[in-house]
Amino acid sequence: MNAHKRFPTRLNLRTGRVDITHGAGGRAMAQLVEELFVRHFDNELLRRMDDQAAFAVEGGRMVMATDGHVVSPLFFPGGDIGSLAVHGTINDVAMSGARPLYLSAGFILEEGFPLADLERIVKSMARAAAAAGVPVVTGDTKVVERGKGDGVFITTTGLGVVPPGLEISGANARPGDAVLVSGHLGDHGVAIMSRRENLEFETEIVSDSAALHGLVARMVAEVPEIRVLRDPTRGGLAATLNEIARASGVGMRLDEDAIPIRPEVEAACELLGLDPLYVANEGKLVAICPQGRAEALLAVMRAHDLGRDAAIIGEVTDDEMGFVTMETGFGGTRIVDWLAGEQLPRIC
């Protein structure tokens, strides 16, 4: 297909902006799809330009996950909404132990959004998908009037297949199990906050946004007894552990000194009055496995680039109340509760 012949002029990716016609189903939309999305996401399934992607899959249990992305700012240290949309959904699929196969992407664009920014986002998505080996095979574009969106929203859906023999679910934690994390917590949230309007501060922290399916593949191959995998995104480690505790009907006991947090993240949180346990991550996972397999799991995680700083941070307890408690670095005990509302900087 030759874009030059189909359309009189090329899409103005330098100074052009999204307008209502880009979502109207006419020639302008076709041009946007071809010259931007198909060009960068390029793969055989997408090139067919059907309304759906058709493919054969190997037998087994399939998983499907979807994730909407509305991040502000759109570009941040260590990533952007595009790479985040790819990593986030791949990770949701991978947390079942599955091998992710395909992605779909839905774009909601706001009228007036610069095409140059859109191209930057799409290129970043394409790079992330190529690096992960998980192609975007179908998609959709809509345009909303100015003021009715925040630049661009992206929803991605992912499909994957679970290798035989795995039984991973948030409801499977058992008293006595070990709780592990794959690395430093809070990097993503702090990187985002450092670029928020009214709150800008200088930091070298970059988002940890990454696709974790490679790490997961190694982990489940070595320790198929893993009971729970979860990526602690919104609400941070605290929310994730509380979700698991509730789903499994257990409690947890953490050791604050064992939880890996970078000094820079700790300092930024201290300054803003935030608790790093509630700050979002986009390239970390929580794993729960039988105590006897914890050291083996830790070793395989640390051998992988994305799990270098993994640590055993606590254990699952028999607690019908479902409390996640923590031995503080100070020597006391406290609850690590669900987040109420949004974390806000303290004023006094």
Partner 1 sequence: MKYVDDFRRKDIAGSLAARIAEAVDPARDYAFMEFCGGHTHAIFRYGVQDLMPPNLRFVHGPGCPVCVLPIPRIDNAIEMAERHGVILCTYGDMMRVPASKRRSLIRAKADGADIRMIYSTGDALQVARDNPGREVVFLAIGFETTTPPTAVAIRQARAEGLGNFSVFCNHVLTPAAIQHILQSPELREMGQVRIDGFLGPSHVSSIIGSAPYEYFAEEFQKPVVIAGFEPLDVMQATLMLIRQVNEGRFEVENEYTRVVTEQGNLKAQALVSEVFELRSSFEWRGLGEVPYSALRIRDEFADFDAERRFALTGSRGRDVKGCECPAILRGVKKPTDCKLFGTVCTPDNPQGSCMVSSEGSCAAYWSYGRFRIDKARAEAREAAA
Residues at the interface with partner 1 (CB under 8 A) = 198-199, 263, 266-267, 270, 321, 323, 325, 328-335, 337-338, 340-342, 344-348
Query: Shortest Cβ distance from residue 322 to partner 1 (Å)?
Result: 10
**Cβ proximity to partner 1, 155 vs 325, nearer residue:** 325
CB contact at 8 A, 299 and 198: no
* b/e per residue 185-195 (b: at least 16 CB within 10 A): bbbbbbbbbbb
**Cβ proximity to partner 1, 159 vs 268, nearer residue:** 268
Query: Shortest Cβ distance from residue 200 to partner 1 (Å)?
Result: 10
Q: Residue 8: is it exposed, middle or buried by C-beta count within 10 angstroms (0-12/13-18/19+)?
A: exposed
**Cβ proximity to partner 1, 233 vs 325, nearer residue:** 325
How far apart (Å, rounded) are the C-alpha atoms in residues 243 and 146?
37
**Cβ proximity to partner 1, 7 vs 323, nearer residue:** 323
Query: Shortest Cβ distance from residue 251 to partner 1 (Å)?
Result: 9
**Cβ proximity to partner 1, 176 vs 329, nearer residue:** 329
Query: Shortest Cβ distance from residue 314 to partner 1 (Å)?
Result: 15
Query: Shortest Cβ distance from residue 297 to partner 1 (Å)?
Result: 28
**Cβ proximity to partner 1, 46 vs 252, nearer residue:** 252
Residue 325 φ/ψ, nearest 5 degrees: -110, 165
Query: Shortest Cβ distance from residue 333 to partner 1 (Å)?
Result: 5
**Cβ proximity to partner 1, 59 vs 332, nearer residue:** 332
CB contact at 8 A, 143 and 23: yes
**Cβ proximity to partner 1, 100 vs 251, nearer residue:** 251
Query: Shortest Cβ distance from residue 97 to partner 1 (Å)?
Result: 32
Query: Shortest Cβ distance from residue 330 to partner 1 (Å)?
Result: 4
